[in-house]
Amino acid sequence: MEKYGFIYVWFDKQYNRFYVGRHWGHINDGYISSSNSMREAHRRRPNDFKRRIVSRVDTKEALVIEEQRWLDMIKPEELNKKYYNKTQKATTPSTLGYNHSDETIQKIKLNNIGKIRSEATKNNISKASIKQFSDPEQRKILSDNVKNQWQNPEYRKRQIDAHKGIPSGFKGKTHTEETKQKIKEKRKLQAQMSDETRQKLKEKQLGTICVNNGIINRYVPATICMPAGFVKGKLKRYK
Q: Which pLDDT value is given to residue 189?
A: 63
Tens of pLDDT, residue by residue over 177-204, are 888 888 888 777 665 667 787 777 777 7
More confident residue, 57 or 143: 57
pTM exceeding the 0.85 threshold for the entire prediction = no
pLDDT > 90: percent of the chain: 23
Q: Which pLDDT value is given to residue 23?
A: 92
- What confidence tier does 94 reach under pLDDT thresholds 50, 70, 90? very low
**End-to-end alpha carbon distance in the chain:** 35
In contact, 70 and 20? CB cutoff 8 Å? yes
Q: Which pLDDT value is given to residue 146?
A: 78
- Does position 98 have pLDDT exceeding 60, yes or no? no
> What is the rounded average pLDDT for all residues in the chain?
80
Q: Which pLDDT value is given to residue 133?
A: 62
Q: Give the start-to-end residue ranges of the domains of the chain.
A: 4-151
- What confidence tier does 238 reach under pLDDT thresholds 50, 70, 90? very low
Instruction: Over range 10-25, report the average pLDDT.
Output: 93
In contact, 24 and 4? CB cutoff 8 Å? yes
- Does position 169 have pLDDT exceeding 70, yes or no? no
Q: Of 11-25, 55-69, 90-104, which has the strongest mean pLDDT?
A: 11-25
- What confidence tier does 5 reach under pLDDT thresholds 50, 70, 90? very high
Measured CA to CA, the distance from residue 67 to residue 87 in angstroms comes to: 12
In contact, 18 and 12? CB cutoff 8 Å? yes
- What confidence tier does 239 reach under pLDDT thresholds 50, 70, 90? very low
Instruction: Over range 102-121, report the average pLDDT.
Output: 78
Q: Which pLDDT value is given to residue 9?
A: 95
- Chain-centroid distance of CA 98 in Å reads 21
Measured CA to CA, the distance from residue 216 to residue 233 in angstroms comes to: 11
Q: Which pLDDT value is given to residue 211?
A: 85
In contact, 48 and 12? CB cutoff 8 Å? yes
From residue 163, alpha-carbon distances to 117, 128, 229 in Å are 30, 28, 8
More confident residue, 99 or 34: 34
